[in-house]
Structure 1
C-alpha cells in the first residue's frame, strides 16, 4: 500500500505534469525537424507511430485524470476549472479514435467511370476484377498472402519505415510468424532503402519481367512489371500475366495485356495503337483485340500514353540500385523505395525485395514459392472498400486568361447509395468538400488530360469527440474569465485595486504639477518681452 501511494503521488504530482509536458513539446519539436529533413513517413516511424509515443500520451491522460480527483475539481466553486481540464479528455479521446479507427485515402475517377467496391477474400480475386478506380490508403501497409493447397492466409499491418537507421534500436524492425499446417513461416525485416532505380538482368532461376519507360501527360516513369502485376496511368491499365488471365481483364477500360508464350513476349489491347520504329522512323497501326509481338526500340502510342520497352526477359532478376543519399531523396514523396525481408520456412531461407512508394500508391507485388507454399508480398497503400458509389459526371478546369495555369477546378459527381436508396448530384471544388456516409471528399488534383479527378478521402469517426472537446475548452476558458473565485479572478481584482490607487496618485500629481507647468512659460515670456522692450 505504501508503494502504491508513492507511485500515485509521483504520477499525479505537478512536477510530473511539467516534466511530461516538456518531454511532449520536445518530442513534437524533434519530430517536426525529422519530417522536414527525412519526410513524413520517417517522422511517423520514429515518433508519431511509435509505441513509446502512445505511452507518453497515455501518461499525460492518467496524470490529467489524477489531478482532477486530487484537487476535487468537480466541486461547484471549481466547476469552470473542471470543464477546462475535462475538455482535454474529449480531445484525447477523439485523437485516439482517429488514430485507431480513422483513415485517409486517395480516389481517382475518370469521366464516365464509377467507383464501387465489393469485399474480396483473397488478392487473386481482385487482381483483374472490373474495378476502374480504387481508394488507396494514405498509410503504407505490409500485405502478405500465403496459399497452400486449399488454405489461404491474408495478413496486413500498418508499416511506416524510416529513411534513416536508428540506433541502438532499429524502429523499422519487425517479425511476423504464421502457422502453416504445423510448420512456422517467418517474415523478418532485413533493410530498407529509400530512393532506388530498378533494372533487370538474365537469371536462369528468375521469372518473366519487363523493364519499360512510359510518358503520360507531363510525367515519365521507368518501372519493372513482373508476372501477376499491373500499373495504372489514368484510364489506361498495363497488366502482365498468364494468357488465361486475359478473361479477367476489365474490358470497359483501356488496357494493354502482356503475356509470355514459348519464351516470346506478346501483347493485346482493346484499343488501336500506333507503333513507330526508332531505327527507320516508320509508323504502323496496330488493330485492337489482336495479338502482336512486344518489341524493343519501338515507341508505342495509346490515347496520349507513350511507352518504350527497354528490356523483356523470360528469366530475369530485378537489380536494385540505391540513389545518392541526398536531402531531395530523403524528402521525396512517392519515390520508389525497396524493403528487403528474409522468409524462413521448413528449413529454407529466401530473400524478397518489395518495391513500393509508401502510402497513397499501390506497391508492386513480389511472388515467390518455398516448397509447396506460394507467397505474395506487397508494401504500399491498400485498397479501401467504399459502401456507396461515386460517378464522375464532368470535370471542369478553369484557367487564367491567356495562360495554361489553372485558376480553379471542380468535379461534378453523382453519389449512388443503393442500400439507403439515395442518389444525388454534387459539385466538389476547393474548400467545398462532399460529406456523406461518414466520408469526406476533398478536391486534390486532376489528370494531365483534364478528363479525370483525384480526390482526397477522409474517414474520421473521432471528429465529433474532438469538436466537443474544443467546445468545452472554449466554454471553460470563458467561465474562468468571469469566475471571481478563480486565480484569474483574484489576480484581476488585485490588479484592479492596484490600478485604482495608481490612477488617483497619478491624477493628483498631474493637477498639482500642471499649475507650475502653465505658470512657467508666462513668466518666461514676460521677461523676454521686457528685455526686448528695454533694448528698443
Structure 2
C-alpha cells in the first residue's frame, strides 16, 4: 500500500494535473491582482495555507520522482535529479520570500531627524477587551470596501470607508430619572440660495470649544446671561459702540549690548502719525491685511487685521536695515541691509490684540430659557427674539439663519460618519460591530472607546508600521539634469545609516537601480517630489542573505541539470574519443 502511494506521489499522473492547477491559479491571480492589488493577492492566494499545500505537494512530487530514479548514473539521470532538486530549492526560496520578506516605504526629509519606522502594506487593528486582553491582527482592505478577516476576537469587521469625518451633535441630556446639568445648546441652519449652500451647526455653552464657531470671516456664538433687561444681556442686544482708535498693535524692539538689554515699545498707529526724526526705529508703512499683488507689489486686501504687517527702518552707527514684521506668529521677520553692516543683538516682535470679527450672529439665552439674537454685518446691527423655525437675515449676502432646535440640557455626542462628497477631505475608517450589535466607526490612526454592558472595549485602526534595527537620515538629495535642458538625468539620496547597537554610522548613496544593503536590508530609491527637493522616499526591503542564496542556488541547479541532460552525453562522448597527445 505504501509502495503504491509513494509511486503515485512521484508519478507524472499527479505532476501533470498538479502543475495544471498551479498554472491556472497563477494566471487567474495575475488578472485578479490588476483588480484588487498585490496586497490582496498576497494575503488571499500566495500566503494562504491551501496554496502553500499545493506548492509543498509539488515539491514532494519532484523529490519522490527523483529518488525513485536512484542511483543516478548517466548524464540524463544526473541532469534529471539536479533539475528536480533545483526546482525544489526555488520553491523553498519563494516560500521564504513570501512569508519572511518585509517591504515598506520610508519618507525622509533633509530638515528632519533620522527615522527607524517604515510603513508596510496593510493596516493593523488592535483591540483591548474589558478583561485587558490585547488582540492584534492585520487588516486587508479590498478595492470594493470589503474587509478581511471578518472577525477579530469579539469584534466583527463590517465595512470600510476611505473618507469619514467627525461630527458633533447635542441631544437633550435630561430624562425622567436624571436631572441633567443646565447647558443650553442650539442647532442652527444657514442657507444661501445664491451660493447653493445649506450648513448646519451646533452651538453649546459647554464645552467652551463649541460656544463659538467660525463661518468664513463671520462667527456664530452662544452666550448665557441672567437677563436681557440689564447688564451684559442688555449690552449684547444693543448696537456696539464705535471705537475711535483701531487696535493696530505695537512693536517691541529689544537691543542687547554687552551686559545690558534695552526694550522699546512703539505704538504703530501713533508712530505713523508722528515720530521723532532721530528715532532709531521708524515705522515706514503698515498693511492691515498684507498681500502681494499681480506685480509683486505690497498691498492690503482689506482694512481688517487679518494679516497685519509693518515695515520698519532700523538705524544704528554700524548700519541701516529694513525690516518687515508680521502679526502672525508663524511668519518670521524679513530683514535686509540697506547700508553698512548687518546689525547684531536686535530682536523685533509684533504684539497685537486679536480683533473680534465684525460679522457675527450671537444667540443669547437667559436663565429662564428665553432666546434672543444679535447680528452684525457691514449692513449694520440688528437684534430681537429668536423663535424656532423663524428665519433671520444677519446681513451676510443672502444668508438666512434658522433656529431648528433648542436643547436646554445639551449632552454632547461625537460620531464618525462616511462622506461621499469628494470635495470633503476626511480620513479612512473601519466599521466594527460588537456581540451586542453596537456598530462603531474606528477612524484611521486614532484610538476609540466602545461602551459595552460588560465594560469598555478599546480599539485602534492604524497604519501598519515596522521598526527597523537601525535608523536612516537623509543628508542631501541631489538632482542632476541633462546638459542644456531641464530634463532630469538622475537623482541621488545621500543617506546616513545610524546603528547605535553596533556603534555604526555609515554614509551611503542610493539612486535608481543602485540600492545599498545593510544587515540583510535592501535600501532603494523609490520616489521623490519635484516640488520639494528636501524630500525623498526610500523602499526598504528585508531579503536575508540565505534566502537570496537559496534562490540563486536553485536557479543554478536547474540550469546545470538541463545542460547536463541535453549536452552531458555528447560532451562526455567527445572527451572519450579525443585523441591522446603523443
TM-score interval, smaller chain: 0.5 to 0.7
Instruction: Measure, in 1, the Cα distance between the counterparts of 2:418 and 2:487.
Output: 38
SS at match of 1:113: coil
Shift in alpha-carbon separation, 1:317–1:106, aligned structure 2, 3 A: same
Q: Name the residue aligned to 2:509.
A: 427
SS at match of 2:540: strand
After TM superposition, give the deviation of residue 404 of structure 1 in Å. 5.4
Q: Name the residue aligned to 1:409.
A: 491
Instruction: Measure, in 2, the Cα distance between the counterparts of 1:465 and 1:87.
Output: 10
Q: TM-score, normalised by structure 2?
A: 0.53
Task: Give the RMSD, CA atoms, in angstroms.
Answer: 4.1
Could you tell me which runs of 5 or more consecutive residues in structure 1 were left unpaired when the two chains were aligned: 118-133, 178-185, 206-259, 267-273, 298-312, 325-334, 356-362, 493-536
Of 107, 110, 123, which aligns to 1:141?
Answer: 123
- Measured against aligned partners, the alpha-carbon deviations of 1:129-177 in whole angstroms (never above 9, x if no partner) come to xxxxx3111x2133304165xx754433333343359xxxx99343232
Do the aligned residues in 2 keep the contact of 1:43 with 1:162 (CA within 8 Å)? no
Shift in alpha-carbon separation, 1:61–1:414, aligned structure 2, 3 A: same
After TM superposition, give the deviation of residue 91 of structure 1 in Å. 1.1
SS at match of 1:287: coil
Q: Name the residue aligned to 1:175.
A: 151
Could you tell me which runs of 5 or more consecutive residues in structure 2 were left unpaired when the two chains were aligned: 172-206, 214-288, 292-299, 309-326, 332-350, 360-410, 575-582
Of 307, 318, 332, which aligns to 1:283?
Answer: 307
Q: Name the residue aligned to 1:191.
A: 159
Question: Within 5 Å, which residues of 2 pair with 1:141-160?
Answer: 141-146=123-128, 153-160=133-140
Shift in alpha-carbon separation, 1:484–1:434, aligned structure 2, 3 A: same
Is 1:340 equivalent to 2:428 in the alignment? no
Q: Name the residue aligned to 1:481.
A: 566
SS at match of 1:156: strand
Instruction: Measure, in 2, the Cα distance between the counterparts of 1:159 and 1:63.
Output: 35
Instruction: Measure, in 1, the Cα distance between the counterparts of 2:211 and 2:521.
Output: 47
Q: Name the residue aligned to 1:84.
A: 83
Question: Within 5 Å, which residues of 2 pair with 1:364-443?
Answer: 364-371=445-452, 372-379=455-462, 381-400=463-482, 405-443=487-525
After TM superposition, give the deviation of residue 262 of structure 1 in Å. 4.8
Is 1:202 equivalent to 2:168 in the alignment? yes
Shift in alpha-carbon separation, 1:18–1:419, aligned structure 2, 3 A: same
Instruction: Measure, in 2, the Cα distance between the counterparts of 1:480 and 1:440.
Output: 36
- Measured against aligned partners, the alpha-carbon deviations of 1:167-203 in whole angstroms (never above 9, x if no partner) come to xxx99343232xxxxxxxx12232346xx43344434
Q: Name the residue aligned to 2:578.
A: none
Shift in alpha-carbon separation, 1:411–1:65, aligned structure 2, 3 A: same
After TM superposition, give the deviation of residue 411 of structure 1 in Å. 0.7
Do the aligned residues in 2 keep the contact of 1:389 with 1:415 (CA within 8 Å)? yes
- Measured against aligned partners, the alpha-carbon deviations of 1:367-419 in whole angstroms (never above 9, x if no partner) come to 1232433412215x422111122221111123446765533211111222232
SS at match of 2:472: strand
Instruction: Measure, in 2, the Cα distance between the counterparts of 1:30 and 1:84.
Output: 27
Do the aligned residues in 1 keep the contact of 2:106 with 2:539 (CA within 8 Å)? yes
Shift in alpha-carbon separation, 1:466–1:157, aligned structure 2, 3 A: farther
SS at match of 2:469: coil
Of 53, 61, 64, which aligns to 1:63?
Answer: 61
Instruction: Measure, in 2, the Cα distance between the counterparts of 1:322 and 1:422.
Output: 50
Q: TM-score, normalised by structure 1?
A: 0.57
SS at match of 2:92: helix
Q: Name the residue aligned to 1:454.
A: 537
Is 1:43 equivalent to 2:41 in the alignment? yes
Shift in alpha-carbon separation, 1:73–1:50, aligned structure 2, 3 A: farther
Shift in alpha-carbon separation, 1:146–1:75, aligned structure 2, 3 A: farther
Q: Name the residue aligned to 1:353.
A: 441
Do the aligned residues in 2 keep the contact of 1:73 with 1:82 (CA within 8 Å)? no
Shift in alpha-carbon separation, 1:337–1:400, aligned structure 2, 3 A: farther
- Measured against aligned partners, the alpha-carbon deviations of 1:308-362 in whole angstroms (never above 9, x if no partner) come to xxxxx974322214689xxxxxxxxxx9765432233xxx34323345xxxxxxx
- Measured against aligned partners, the alpha-carbon deviations of 1:184-243 in whole angstroms (never above 9, x if no partner) come to xx12232346xx4334443448xxxxxxxxxxxxxxxxxxxxxxxxxxxxxxxxxxxxxx
Instruction: Measure, in 2, the Cα distance between the counterparts of 1:190 and 1:396.
Output: 47
SS at match of 1:451: strand
Do the aligned residues in 2 keep the contact of 1:81 with 1:476 (CA within 8 Å)? yes
SS at match of 1:43: helix
Do the aligned residues in 1 keep the contact of 2:440 with 2:450 (CA within 8 Å)? no
